[in-house]
Amino acid sequence: MKQLIVNADDFGLTPGVNRAIIELATAGCLTSATLMAAAPATDEAIQLARQTPALSVGCHVVLVDGVSCLDRATQQLFPWIHSETEVGQLPATPGQLLRALFSHGVRQSQRENFLEAEAFAQITRLQQAGLTLTHIDTHKHLHQFPAILRPVLRAARRAGIHRIRNPFEPHWSQRATQHVPLARLAQFRALQLFRGRFHRIVAQEGFTTSDGAVGVLATGSLDRASLEDLLAAMPDGRWELVTHPGYQDATLAQIRTRLRASREREIDALHLIGEAHGIERISFGSPAFTP
C-alpha cells in the first residue's frame, strides 16, 4: 500500500505562505503542516490552523535563522550560542549553529540543555495558543544530526508528542529527481551517513516516523513535472512529501531565503496530489500513522 503524508513547512513565515497552505489544505492537496513558533505571520497561522481542523499541525522547530523563544534569563545561560548574533537571535546558518554548539569549552550537557530548552519553548508556545500538535520537524532538517536529534526528541516527548519527520530521502526518490546541482548532491549524500543512527535513536526514544522524506533533494526545484516523476516512482510504503508552498508578498521579499520563486510553482504542482490514483493520503495525526 502506498501512503503519503503531504506536509507544508514554514507555516507562519508570511501571510502569503499561510494563504497557500490553507487553500491547498482546503482543496485536499495538503494533509499536514509544520508551524513556526516565532515567525512574522505566526499569530495569523495559529488562527487559521484553529479554523482548519482537517489539517494536522506540527511544530517546525527553528534552531537557525530565527528568533529564540526562550525568555531573556534563560538565554543568558547559553551566551556562547549568540557568539555570532545578537542575544535573542538564533545563529543565521547551520554552520554558525554547529560552530557555537561545538565551540571550545561548551560541554555536551550545555549543548543538549540549550537544544532541548529551545525546542520545548517553541513547541509549548504553540500548544499554549490552543493547538493540538501531532508531530515535529526542524527548519533545514537539522535533526538529521544525532547531537541535535536526541535533545529535540526529549523536548517533544515532554510536550506529549511522539511523531517526527524522517528527514532522509529514499534511494528511489533520489533516482527520480533530475537536474540536481553537483555540489548539492554531494552535500546531500554526505549527510546520508547519519541515516542509520537516526533510526536507532528514534526507536530508542519511542518515536514513530515515516519510511522517508520525498522531495528534499528537489527543494527549490519542485514543479509539476518533477512531482509527477516522484509520484510515478513511488513504491509501497509510508512516505512524507516535503513541500514549501507560498504566494509572493511584501513580507517574503524581506526574508533571506532561496525558496522565493519556487514557492508558487509548488502551489501549482501540489494540485496533482488530488489527481493521484492508488495513493492513500494520510497525515501525522491519522490513525493510519501507527508504529
Taking the C-alpha atoms of residue 108 and residue 96, their distance in angstroms, rounded to an integer, is 17
Provide the number of structural domains found in the chain. Answer: 1
If you write DSSP's letter for every residue of 250-286 in order, what string do you get? HHHHTS--S-STHHHHHHHHHTTGGG--S-EEE-TTS
Name the burial class of residue 151, with classes exposed (0-12), middle (13-18) and buried (19+) by CB atoms within 10 angstroms of its CB: buried
Taking the C-alpha atoms of residue 74 and residue 165, their distance in angstroms, rounded to an integer, is 28
pLDDT higher than 90, residue 275: no
Residue 249 lies in a domain: yes
Return the CATH number at 229: 3.20.20.370
Q: Cα 42 vs. chain centroid, distance in angstroms?
A: 15
**Bigger pLDDT: 189 vs 259:** 189
The whole domain housing 272 covers 2-282
Closest residue by Cα to residue 98 from 62, 26, 147: 147
pLDDT higher than 80, residue 111: yes
Q: What are 77-87's pLDDT values in tens digits?
A: 999 998 777 87
Residue 19 lies in a domain: yes
Taking the C-alpha atoms of residue 179 and residue 173, their distance in angstroms, rounded to an integer, is 13
Residue 290 lies in a domain: no
Residue 58 lies in a domain: yes
Work out the percent of the chain whose per-residue pLDDT is above 90.
Answer: 78
| Residues 38/125, Cβ–Cβ less than 8 Å | yes
Taking the C-alpha atoms of residue 89 and residue 179, their distance in angstroms, rounded to an integer, is 35
| Residues 205/154, Cβ–Cβ less than 8 Å | yes
Residue 291 — pLDDT band, cuts 50, 70, 90? low
Residue 288 lies in a domain: no
- β-pairing, 280-282 vs 2-11, is parallel
Residue 253 lies in a domain: yes
Residue 291 lies in a domain: no
Q: What average pLDDT is seen over the chain?
A: 92
pLDDT higher than 70, residue 255: no
Q: Which three cell numbers stand for residue 56?
A: 494536522
- Gyration radius of the chain over CA positions: 18
Residue 53 — pLDDT band, cuts 50, 70, 90? very high
Work out the percent of the chain whose per-residue pLDDT is above 70.
Answer: 96
Residue 287 lies in a domain: no
Q: Flag whether the pTM goes above 0.85.
A: yes
Collect all residues with Cβ–Cβ distance below 8 Å to 222 and sequence separation of at least 6.
215, 243, 262, 265, 266, 269
| Residues 97/65, Cβ–Cβ less than 8 Å | no
Q: What is residue 263's predicted lDDT score, i.e. its pLDDT?
A: 82
- Within 10 angstroms of residue 55's Cβ, the number of other Cβ atoms is 22
Q: Which three cell numbers stand for residue 142?
A: 537539522
- What's the average model confidence in pLDDT over 227-246? 96
Q: What is residue 244's predicted lDDT score, i.e. its pLDDT?
A: 95
